[in-house]
A and B are shown apart, each in its own frame.
Chain A
Amino acid sequence: MKDDQYYIQDIAVMRSMMERSTKFMSVSGLAGILAGIYALAGALIAHQYLYTEGNLTGLVVTAISVLILAIGSAVFLSRKKAAKRREKAWNPTAKRLVVNMAVPLVAGGLLILIVMANGLFILMAPCTLIFYGLALFNAGKFTYEEIKGLGLIQIALGLLGASFTGYGLLCWAAGFGLAHIIYGMYIHYRYER
């Protein structure tokens, strides 16, 4: 007859297999911190454009650069983390995560283009926050559950920014910058050391 430890180990195997095949655990806390730093830098540049030159092209270029840098770091660091866990980064759980985030993000992106076309520029930053928050809240089911909290913070900041015009960019910096850095640090220290 086998001892207790053997059966306890059996249950541990079952648990870890279930988690491994339903949740994408290679999300990187470090990538969150980096995304926050890019966002803060981007917000500073955007501030210059908004209050000195009113240059819309510069603003859009800044936003796209921040986005590309953030996604690039996330993909790179996730792959590294997955390799460390001896998994492939682009596995079925990753696909599920991306699809579930893509729906609110694409809807939000299209809405922002419509908002822009109608000249409602003050609503752009709050819209990015709200839809990104919805995407994160959705993502919480497919990766670290704590991400749900980050999603709620983004949604709240988006609504705040939309109601107090003039604070849109500040809320954006708090959400994409500060909140990312704090959550990134939490994930990093809790799960990556």
Chain B
Amino acid sequence: MKLLIEHLHKAFESRIRLGIMSVLAVNDSLDFNALKDYLDVTDGNLATHLKSLEKENFISVKKSFVGRKPNTRYFMTKAGKKAFDDHLKALEKLIKSRR
């Protein structure tokens, strides 16, 4: 049981970070505003969570221009995808083992 808990990644303890990862798992890339809409959080709050996921190397940014406006798009890295899949598997196992 202890082992199972260890597979649950600390970074995903926050529901907002879990939400960001879920959304990026099924979309190639999304900009800040789209993420904000889906998660229903404030700018500052979202930025903090994005930063911490970036620090873990789970997500990465792609900067470009739309016309003259700078546009920052977020996407999941390979490491992020693996961590997310492992987390999901661990959750499933945990719930099953307790039934």
Nearest chain B residue, comparing its CB with the CB of A8: B95
Contact A86 B91 (CB under 8 A): no
Nearest chain A residue, comparing its CB with the CB of B39: A17
From B27, B91, B92, B98, contact of A22 by CB (8 A):
B27
B11 located at the interface, meaning its Cβ lies under 8 Å from any Cβ of chain A in the complex? no
A53 located at the interface, meaning its Cβ lies under 8 Å from any Cβ of chain B in the complex? no
A4 neighbours in B (Cβ, 8 Å): 95, 98
Task: Fill in one digit per residue for B55-99: 1 if any A CB lies within 8 Å of its CB, else 0.
Answer: 000000000000000000000000000000000100110110010
**Chain A, interface residues (CB within 8 Å), range:** 10 to 19
Contact B91 A92 (CB under 8 A): no
Contact A10 B91 (CB under 8 A): yes
From B15, B27, B94, B98, contact of A13 by CB (8 A):
B15
Contact A1 B37 (CB under 8 A): no
Q: How far is the CB of A88 from chain B (nearest CB, A)?
A: 5
A87 located at the interface, meaning its Cβ lies under 8 Å from any Cβ of chain B in the complex? yes
Within 8 A of B (CB), among A121-148: none
Instruction: Decide if the interface of chain A is mainly helix, strand, loop or mixed.
Output: helix
Instruction: Decide if the interface of chain B is mainly helix, strand, loop or mixed.
Output: helix
A117 located at the interface, meaning its Cβ lies under 8 Å from any Cβ of chain B in the complex? no
Q: How far is the CB of A176 from chain B (nearest CB, A)?
A: 33
Contact B23 A1 (CB under 8 A): no
From A1, A8, A15, A91, contact of B34 by CB (8 A):
A91
Contact A13 B22 (CB under 8 A): yes
B15 neighbours in A (Cβ, 8 Å): 10, 13
Within 8 A of A (CB), among B29-61: 30, 34, 37-40
Given A4-B98, A7-B91, A7-B95, residue A17 in contact with residue B27 (CB < 8 A): no
B25 neighbours in A (Cβ, 8 Å): 18
A92 neighbours in B (Cβ, 8 Å): 27, 30, 34
A22 to B18, CA, bound (A): 16
Nearest chain B residue, comparing its CB with the CB of A17: B22
Contact B37 A13 (CB under 8 A): no
B91 neighbours in A (Cβ, 8 Å): 7, 10-11
Query: Could you list 20 examples of A-B contacts with CB < 8 Å?
Result: A4-B95, A4-B98, A7-B95, A10-B91, A11-B91, A11-B92, A13-B18, A13-B19, A13-B22, A14-B19, A14-B88, A15-B22, A21-B23, A21-B30, A22-B26, A22-B27, A86-B40, A91-B38, A92-B27, A92-B30
Given contacts A10-B15, A14-B18, 9 further A-B contacts (CB under 8 A): A7-B91, A11-B95, A13-B15, A14-B88, A18-B25, A20-B23, A86-B40, A88-B37, A91-B37
